Amino acid sequence: MPKRTERTEGAVPQSQRQLRVGEALRHGLAELLGAGTLRDPALRDASITVTEVRMSPDLRRAAAFVMPLGGAAREEILDGLRRAAPHLRSRVAKLVRMRFAPELEFLLDDSFDQAERIDSLLHARKTDG
Residue-range domain boundaries for the chain: 16-128
Give which of 100, 22, 30 is closest to 62, Cα–Cα: 22
Edge-to-edge strands, sheet with 61-68: 48-55, 61-68, 103-108
State residue 44's pLDDT score: 84
pTM (predicted TM-score): 0.78
Does CATH place domain 16-128 in 3.40.50.300? no
Distance CA 46, CA 33 (A): 9
pLDDT exceeds 60 at position 33 = yes
pLDDT, tens digit, for every residue of 84-129? 999 999 999 999 888 889 999 999 988 767 777 887 888 887 776 5
